[in-house]
Structure 1
Amino acid sequence: MSRGFVKEEDQEEAPFIPPRAALPAGVNNYVTPVGFQKLKQEKEELEKEWAGREKSSDKDRRIARAVVDGKLSLLNERINSARILDPSEQPPGEVRFGAHVKIRDQKSKKLQEFQIVGVDEANIKDQKIAFVAPIAKAITGKKVGEVAEFKLGAEIRHLDILEISYK
């Protein structure tokens, strides 16, 4: 049936499903064991939310289920493509995925501490940055005492690697 013969109030727009954190094409979806558990927990919560939509009206239920279905689809893609890297198996003296790192900008003397994690785990409030972030790329492979060059716009910053740990 043509949409021209459908009542205007019956027409539903496709719901907006927020995208997941960006993962560049061709890049492995690395996650820590903790990050993988969080993805699985998120899936369980979405499945519960989906099942809990039975009591709402037809239109509301359809829209809510479409959103949850879309989120579950994106989440399942991430779970299925996840490659778990255990930080405890990384070389202890070198910055790699999962490392907790303390660095200092040589010019400003500003200290920064963070952990390098998967894109879905990254959260600046928790001091976790994605392994695809420019600063993570700049320091990966460095050892304590080495200097990493980090390009920020036209400026090049020199970062001292002060500490590396895999907690």
Structure 2
Amino acid sequence: MSSSRTRGLRRAAAPLTAAALALGISAALTTPAAASGTYHGGAYVNGSGSMTDGDWNNEGVVNVSTHRNSNVACLWQTVLWADGYMSASDIDGIFGDQTHAATVRWQRDRGLVADGSAGRNTWTKAGQRLNNSNPGRSPDGFWYGGYAGKNTSFMVRSSSAGNWGFAGADGIIRWASYNTRTCS
């Protein structure tokens, strides 16, 4: 191949390489991990699966601007419902003003900074109410446990990959996803 043709191919490839790098950098800057600073980076609430204290200590922030419409917002609203801060009919997977206000009250009652955002300290405090009803994996491959709220409890489970699911106030089991909302 002639050297002039090689230079031409290099010049044509340079914009494509730059575009690919820019897209990669752009995607990295917009991930939930960058948004919260404490987030483990997965698509789901994730942990060891053993339902022990501390399993919710590295979750992403959920508030009026981050993961606002998600099943993680639905999980957080379910925690608020179990502890008596929201009604079952208010659980919709949208972290709006009502969820913000309920979160502030929940945090204040537990001696946390009451910023209305479910971040690392809030998830860690909620995780202290997890209990393990099964000392090992069940035949279907899940760890099963519960969240023991002040007013009621709800079932939680963890897959072999550590991804969490929960039974909402409506009894439907959902994956606690940062990227989807199936609760309404």
TM-score (norm 1): 0.26
Q: Which has the higher strand share?
A: 1
